[in-house]
Structure 1
Amino acid sequence: MSSSEDHPAKKQKLDVESKVIGTHNGTFHCDEALAVFLLKKTNAYATADLKRTRDPAILDTCSIVVDVGGVYDESKQRFDHHQRGFTEVFGYGFKTKLSSAGLVYKHFGKDIIAGRLQLLLDDAKVDTLWLKMYKEFVEAIDGIDNGISQYPTDIEPVYRGRTDVSSRVGHLNPAWNEPFDAKTLDSKFLQASSLVGEEFMNRLDYYANSWLPARDLVSTALTKRTEVDPSGRIVLFEQFAPWKEHLFELEPLLSITESSQPLYILYPDEAANNWRIQAVPASPSSFESRKALPEAWRGVRDDELSKLSGVEGCIFVHASGFIGGNKTREGALKMARLALAI
């Protein structure tokens, strides 16, 4: 990395072998720390040097510039968001104004994801993960850097949280009364870029290797639900997977109407070697169910519940009716079918 220099520099032509990423020097923030990390994960800028400066003459020599320069122009590889009149958002329903992190991610994110996972750029998984990573990781960095409140400003939080990745990056800057020089700041910036970048990659790996396979399982189970019960109201998983978020996102994509929405989910509880029946909530964060298990079953257990329901192998039904258990798959399915009819 080139150290920060603000003295005049002669403009030079850069060939493909000597690309340079430019960003501002001085105090650093999470957005350009992530932007630089992401650029280094692209084929175009993987071997690029880094210059941290605000000198326009030096920035002019850079192949790409982020978070400084007052210009957003993809054709010129300039990605700043501080200029008057800048209103760029990610799109796809997202309304948070982009920072340099969001700008770089919007234009280079799909390439980075495809490269990381060894997928073709037009693979549907790339699009799904690109949107997911923006929602779950990048958007918050955009919002914080642009000073956009996460909640209405008239709500006073009951406690302070300073452990988000933007705060942790900010804390890597030297304190106001701590001696430092340009070399120290450049070193700290690289540390910050690595911190937020590694967290980004860890999150991407999770969504690619855990979240996405769960989504596939839920999608398959939803398309086969009429094989479980002709009503389509019961979904069965042969293995447990996190399902709530996926179910609510996939229902409209699969054109599942309200009248045929699943009411009960069946899955094995491998730790207890039995089966669970769970009522689908009214919304992803709701404690209310679309159709709770029968009121007469709630809070009843074991043989008493089996006698009451007429289903062998019953274990329990929670007092709120949102979940129950049976010793076998067949028993759980019988409970679900009976619950539909009550």
Structure 2
Amino acid sequence: MASSSAPAQVRSCVILATNDYSSHTYTFHHIDAAPFFSRPDPDTQAMDDGINLPPASARGYYLEFHLLLRGCERDAGVKVVSTDAERRTVIYNVARRAVRGGPMMHAPKDSPVSLAVGDGMFVFERRPASGHRRFEALRYDPLREDWFWYGIPMPPYVRDPGYRRSSITALTPAAGGRIWTTTEGVGTYSFDTRRRSWRKEGDWALPFLGQAEHVPGRGDGLSFEFLAVECNGYTSPNGPLCAVDLATATADSPPVVRGVWEEFKPPGEWTPSTPSLVHLGSGKMCVFRFFQTDRTGGSRNRRVVVITAVEVSAHDGEIKMVKHRSKSIRFQEHLGHITWIL
């Protein structure tokens, strides 16, 4: 069962999954996070250039990757769980750099999203629809001494006569082993991972897009993600980093945004794409932003991945953030694209 009282997992590295065009596979690369937290620097335009992408530590053919943080006493440690359209599962132990087969999922998933909560991992379909075991959890069974998938209830709105299949636009773990999700045109619901039950929080949407990271503090703590912004008529997650206080939400109003920060300001000619945020534990986070350096796509265009380490602490609604100097990854074009950051 998920537990909110266990200490948070502290990670020493970030895993990048890249698609290798030459072999049609994915490769895992371990990024040591410690050097990113060695130089506090408030300058949002400063950046150290040219960090080499480490050699691949593992290779696989699977299409979806999920993070399993704590696990259980008999099989603890950070893991990357890979799944495919045939319901197959592979488990990669990050510390041991070892790959093993896993259990079959009960049903294939259409563009899944996942969250690690407590000692398990929860996988939702991005566009929920009625159906058997479309939402599942991966947990360790101490009696059978192995990992197994378990079906979890679908959100109640999928059974409403007027429901039209819509996308989950935001989700975040929260205090008490809950998961909050916003579904387009539906509102925000939360799932209790211990009681396996859903609750409607309101008709409003969470003020960010994508998957947030929860940083525990006094009370419920805060969820950090990129502020949803309007860009060319579309809602984009390319806004600044923001902190959302879920405890302030009511049935009539969404949670309050407690802080907004611009951790990196790119040159004006760079074109951004969807950023990613990784929480390493104890309030340490790495912000990944992706850019094309030439808006015209000319011969001088190159891909740049900028990593900025930040440390946050939240107590009684007061937030302190320390930004470290941004660094870029030297990324060779033939390696394909970074498709997952875990």
Do both share a fold (TM > 0.5)?
no
**TM-score (normalised: structure 2):** 0.21
Which one has more relative contact order, counting CA pairs under 8 Å at least 6 apart?
A: 2
In proportion to residue count, which structure has more helix? 1
**TM-score (normalised: structure 1):** 0.21
